[in-house]
Amino acid sequence: MEKSKHPCFNSDARHTQGRIHLPIAPSCNVQCNFCNRKFDCVNESRPGVTTKVLTPKQTSSYVQAVLDRVDNISVLGVAGPGDPFADAERTLATLELVHKEFPDKLLCLSSNGLNLPGYAQRLKELNVSHVTITVNAVDPEIGAKVYAWIRDGYHVYRGVQGAKVLLEKQTQAIKELKEAGMIVKINTVVIPTINDHHVPAIAEYVSKLGADVQNCIPLMKVEGTPFGELPAPEPAFMQELRLVVGKHINQMSHCARCRADAVGLLGQQNSLEVQRLLDEASRNTPSKTKPYVAVASKEGLFVNQHLGEASQLWVFGLVDGAVQLIERRKTPHSGSGDDRWEEMAKTFSDCFTILSGGFGPAPEKILTDRGITVVAAQCLIDDAAKSLLTGNELPKVYQKTAGLCGKGAACSGTGQGCA
């Protein structure tokens, strides 16, 4: 593989070489004050945005479908919509699959670096050649203004303490990646009045660690974030800044601030065909081994019960074109942690989807990894089940925003989960 074919790391390659961003990392362990990860806005082109999130198993078929239609793809990368190492095993499972099935493609990923230490050798074994780490401050006092919180394992840190922990992990990650022989790019979001004066110090710091190139990204104003009212840096300021920091480290100046599901050449919008392929890949449909939909319901008429509270699920199938109750099936007893969801996956192994009024991250991950899609909805069972059992997507009007407060993906949260 020719490493110079990576369009993000080589300005000349961007005109001829394309990439596929694999949207497989929905969670994030750092809340930046400029970020709002809306998963389903097709009209926004910025990091953190995707219309669908794929499982590792769905990714391979999606990549193959895209490669059958789009020429000159040299790179498969993971860039969100969250952080790839907020759920490291999910990311590594995806990379393992695509490396095995598409060995001629360059593999890369972009991370905040918080949970990356310890994984460099594994990434090297999977033939990951390029890694991007986002470093927005090397002074914890400045970092405290950039990040609302960081979550390191079970510990949530804020302020200067959080910025210190993040910088320590980023420093360690960059060192390990360079020792493993990878090409390392540093992304730095330039935020007026916050860190714009601090970027040369960042460049000098990461250069001494061995980073190869820096990408200074002007702040993109995102409504609803703490930095949503700050002005974007002027192009003339960015040009001058790159000249200054270029004395410390090579600069990338052709960043297109891509979506987490971007496909093709840098700067190109995803075609309707690519969007259709992503929709199809993400959709779990009935099959011979999984013909049913299970529903968390209080009375069997509406989707209206939280999955964690359900002592039984109502199982529905399609009989002569009509939705029909197959049986009411008890769920495993609560109080056993993740074992409950593992057991539920076995109990409802003949169901391709579970509908409920809400659910937490643990059942979503475990059930999804076992081939059962978990969907939050608020509607008549008959309406929702009919759409799914006939192989269609659940209409948006039936879908329920995650979380009791209704904020869903727009919520920056506290790092400690929903109350």
Q: What span, in angstroms and rounded, lies between the C-alpha atoms of 64 and 57?
A: 12
Give the pLDDT of residue 153: 85
Q: 0.85 exceeded by the pTM?
A: no
CA distances from 76 to 42, 108, 128, 171 (A): 21, 7, 10, 25
Mean pLDDT of 252-275: 73
Q: From the CA atom positions of the chain, what is the Rg in Å?
A: 22
pLDDT tens-digit map of 6-27: 767 666 666 567 788 888 888 8
Lowest mean pLDDT among 54-58, 165-169, 208-212, 304-308: 54-58
Give the pLDDT of residue 43: 45
Q: What span, in angstroms and rounded, lies between the C-alpha atoms of 123 and 176?
A: 11
Confidence band for 186, pLDDT divided at 50, 70 and 90: very high
Mean pLDDT of 163-180: 96
Give the pLDDT of residue 175: 96
Q: What span, in angstroms and rounded, lies between the C-alpha atoms of 50 and 333?
A: 35
Domain boundaries, given as residue ranges, for the chain: 3-281, 292-410
Strand order across the beta sheet in which 30-32 lies: 30-32, 147-152, 155-157
pLDDT tens-digit map of 310-350: 999 999 999 998 999 999 999 998 888 889 999 999 999 99
Give the pLDDT of residue 285: 81
Fold held by 3-281: TIM Barrel (3.20.20)
DSSP 299: S
pLDDT tens-digit map of 280-292: 777 778 888 999 9
Question: For the domain 292-410, what is the CATH code?
Answer: 3.30.420.130
pLDDT tens-digit map of 23-42: 888 888 888 888 776 545 44
Residue 61 CB-half CA count within 13 A:
12
Give the pLDDT of residue 260: 75
Tally of CB atoms within 10 A around 102: 17
Q: What span, in angstroms and rounded, lies between the C-alpha atoms of 355 and 343?
A: 17
